[in-house]
Chains A and B, each alone.
Chain A
Amino acid sequence: MTDYLTIDNLTKRFGGVAAIDGCTLSLRKGLITGLIGPNGAGKTTLLNLISGMVKPDAGRVSFEGHDITGVAAHRIASLGLVRTFQIVRELSGLTVLESLLLSPGHQMGETVSGALFRRPTVQEQEQHNAIKARRILARIGLWHLADQSASQLSGGQKKLLELARALLLEPKLILLDEPAAGVSPPLLDVIMRLIRELRDEGISFGIVEHDMHLIAELCDDVHVLAEGKMLVSGSFAEVTADPRVVEAYLGMPA
């Protein structure tokens, strides 16, 4: 299978600390790849670098064969590479439905001339997107909350909403930063089922997570990151059996 997203010798320093230090890894198309590692290993920084939120000091990121190193975040998202956040960013001024209507790309109504002079076409696009939004909200069980402010949702519902928002961008690859953090067990089941279904529908995933149950259940490949470097990769069983991984987590030789 082909490498879909490749990270080559990527480095990012904050002051004296190298958060990502010559990291090389790749994600395969159509699979769910787990990214694990102890706190401070650089997982979130890696997502920030891939998604264009932070510029690397050295190294290369490429997606579908195109070099996307240092490309602006909004352009990377429009290429179909979408990420979510460790601490949910729920857009508190929008309702649940509005935050989904916001997502789709190429909206004519988001230009001034379109909004003022092409209102029938814009309304058609909105209606079309609203139908898609309703389908996704119904699928994740949030349709009854469509008109609520996004800020009123529970932690787990916000994580679901972020995932739904990403889906309306019709992404090819979704990077999730701790999708299980702060999510109640019933909602976690919904999230895990959804991720698996979406993988079967052809979307690739990269998941940063501390919840080993989720990683074990979902991931086809697992990469372990420690101190900004790629430590080990393989299947979940292979990776967890590796003494270096145990050492990285416990901070001592196993």
Chain B
Amino acid sequence: MIAYLTTLIVLVSVAALVGLALNFQWGVAGLVNFGVVGFVALGAYTAALLSPPLGWVGGMIAAATLCAIASTFLALLSIRLGDDYLAIVTIGFGEIVRILLLNEDWLTGGALGIPNIPRPFVSLAPAGNYDVVLLPFALLLVAAVYLVLETLVRSPFGRVLRAVRDDATAASALGKPVLLLRVKAFAIGGAAMGVAGSLHAFYLTYIDPSQFTSIITAYAFMAVIAGGRGSNTGLLIGAGTIMTLIEATRFLKDVMQVIDGAQLSALRLGAIGLGIVLLLILRPQGLLPEPHRRAREFFPTEKGGQ
């Protein structure tokens, strides 16, 4: 049971990291990314390949850096062209990463993947019970990324990104360097996806291309929509609920013996989809609104600004 709980919490943590990243790119800055899984995979493989020589910290930093560089490159490539191109270019990026992982055997191990990925703080764990280290590690990682992104969202940087999202022309008329801001936002989100990929690799210690399917991208969008675009706290709740529902409903198979496993997994996905549709109808703005600065924060002694 404890092992299962750890699995669940680590899965939620990975999903939360991916979701936080997408929330920053798309929820706050309005930059759509349909290649989320490509960045997660790039992060996971970088961490897997570079942790043995560099140690896990080095591997993770390399993963975040490489993903940030790839994001910068994609953003520059497509943002110059126009808004819709980012969607197309990121889909293309996801495909390219998938094909490279499968075919560049010399580097990625092809379909067999990479085994024996070193784990953080192994020496601290009692023999045969790595969970007691993994669990707090995953939670701390989520907390750290949340803290950084939340600080950014609530800062003038987050505000100017929201302005660019709402109306790039108006933002540029106010002297804001729209292109630079978009590249920064996309790179920061990309780096967080690299961190998510690293956690994924450290947790499984074995990665192969079949682990990185488009469903990762779909879950991230669901989490952002459910949580409320722009709200990191909402995102955590959204990602937590969705992943818990998906994982918890695995047990339904044992309770309801009339349907088999394949039918059940299709049903579960359908139910999540239905849930999102219902949420969009009943609460289109998501669970939580994005944070705003209020007049009384600046002028605590006076009433007004209501």
User: Which residues of A are in contact with B by a Cβ distance under 8 Å?
Assistant: 51-53, 72-75, 77-78, 82-85, 89-95, 97-99, 101-103, 105, 107-112, 114-116, 119, 122, 126-127, 130-131, 134, 143-147, 165-166, 169
Contact = CB atoms under 8 A, between A and B. Distances in A.
A78 B175 contact: yes
Interface in B114-172: 148, 151-152, 155-160, 162-163, 165-167, 169-172
Nearest to A73: B172
Given A74-B178, A89-B170, A94-B166, A110 B304 contact: no
A126 B298 contact: yes
Interface of B: 148, 151-152, 155-160, 162-163, 165-167, 169-178, 181, 184, 188, 230, 290, 292-295, 298-299, 304-306
A93 B169 contact: no
Contact of B172 (A77, A93, A98): A77
DSSP class of B's interface residues: helix, strand, loop or mixed? helix
A116 B148 contact: yes
Nearest first, the 7 A-B pairs at minimum CB distance are A109-B156, A115-B155, A77-B175, A146-B305, A89-B170, A130-B298, A73-B172
* Most chain A CB inside 10 Å of its own CB: which residue of B152, B166, B298: B298
B149 to A, nearest CB: 10
A144 B304 contact: yes
A115 B152 contact: yes
A77 B148 contact: no
A92 B166 CA distance: 7
A114 B170 CA distance: 23
Contacts of B169: 53, 73, 85, 89
B177 A74 contact: yes
A68 to B, nearest CB: 13
A82 B167 CA distance: 16
Contact of A95 (B155, B230, B292): B292
Contacts of B292: 94-95, 98, 147
Contacts of B293: 95, 97-98, 101, 126
Contact of B166 (A85, A93, A144, A145): A93
A110 B78 CA distance: 23
A107 B163 CA distance: 15
Contacts of B155: 109, 114-116, 119, 122
A120 B297 CA distance: 14
A169 B166 contact: no
B299 A130 contact: yes
Contacts of A145: 305
Contact of A147 (B178, B181, B306): B306
A91 B163 contact: yes
A122 B163 contact: no
15 contacts: A53-B173, A89-B167, A91-B163, A93-B162, A93-B290, A97-B293, A110-B157, A114-B157, A116-B148, A119-B155, A130-B295, A131-B298, A144-B306, A145-B305, A147-B292
Nearest to B170: A89
Contacts of A78: 175
B175 A143 contact: no
B178 A91 contact: no
A92 B229 CA distance: 14
B169 to A, nearest CB: 6
Nearest to B297: A130
A58 B67 CA distance: 42
* Most chain A CB inside 10 Å of its own CB: which residue of B162, B173, B305: B173
A91 B292 CA distance: 13
Given A112-B184, A147-B292, 11 more contacts: A52-B172, A74-B174, A85-B173, A94-B162, A94-B292, A95-B294, A116-B152, A127-B298, A134-B299, A165-B174, A169-B174
A127 to B, nearest CB: 6
A112 B152 contact: yes
Nearest to B156: A109
B184 A143 contact: no
A94 B159 contact: yes
A173 to B, nearest CB: 13
